Structure 1
Amino acid sequence: MIRHIVLFTVPKHEDLDAVLDGLSILTGIPAATRLEIATNMKADRFDDGIDVVVYGEFEDEAALAAYHAHPLYQTSIDRVKPLRGRRFAADYVVEDAVREASSPSPTKSET
């Protein structure tokens, strides 16, 4: 499974609802097994610069590619891009993700 996370800034607060509406178009694309669009709670004490989060789950790379190729994806871009600021995206394979702390490497005196 692939997780797809996109973070947006929205420079003008009055454009936030329009950005959310434009991103909500993405929920009509059937390639995702899960797709969520949300405003950032801004609870992190170190950075509150991100305004909107898109979170998606896809069965495989082919499903993610189908999502990007769908006509609704371009429709969403056309509506959102003029209103958003920065965009950050990350995709990763869930099965390859680190899920627990690794053992520390032994020091030279322990080997």
Structure 2
Amino acid sequence: MIKHIVMWKLKDHAEGADRAANAAELKRRLDGCAGIVPGMLKFEVALAQPGLEATYDAVLYSEFESKEALEAYAAHPTHKAVIPFIASVREGRQCMDFEV
């Protein structure tokens, strides 16, 4: 199994909206990627919660049964359609894939 974790720090303002609005839109768009390929076992998008410690604004936690399933997700048109928006609103990104 492959775990795929991505965190984003968002710009204060981008795409005509503030950080909170862009975080909500990022989550909405990424939530649309859940279940788009066979072998996706888990897919969860969460936003930083007020009052709790967070150095990033959004996180994706996902699990795939294989490297091939993760690659299929990365290449899927629904996923590819989300990338330009995220790229335009993000200040930073961290990613880690690991096998368990």
Give the TM-score category using the shorter length. Answer: 0.7 to 0.9
Q: Which of the pair is proportionally richer in strand?
A: 2
> 1:43 is matched with which residue: 36, 48, 52?
52
Specify every segment of 5 or more residues in structure 2 that has no aligned partner in the other structure, as ranges.
13-18
> 1:53 is matched with which residue: 59, 72, 89?
59
Q: Which residue of 2 aligns with 1:8?
A: 8
The two structures have a TM-score, normalised by structure 2, of 0.79
The two structures have a TM-score, normalised by structure 1, of 0.72
Percent identity, please: 31
Higher relative contact order (Cα pairs below 8 Å, separated by 6+ residues):
2
The Cα offsets for residues 34-59 of structure 1, whole Å up to 9 and x where unpaired, read as 10001134734xxx321101011000
8 Å Cα contact 2:37/2:69 also seen in 1: no
Q: CA RMSD in A?
A: 1.7
Superposition map of 1:21-32 within 5 A: 21-31=28-38, 32=40
The Cα offsets for residues 48-99 of structure 1, whole Å up to 9 and x where unpaired, read as 32110101100011111111111111101022221122111001111xxxxx
Displacement of 1:28 in angstroms is 4.6
User: Looking at CA atoms only, which structure, 1 or 2, has the larger radius of gyration?
Assistant: 1
Structure 1 runs of 4+ off > 6 angstroms?
none
Provide the aligned length of Structure 1 versus Structure 2.
91
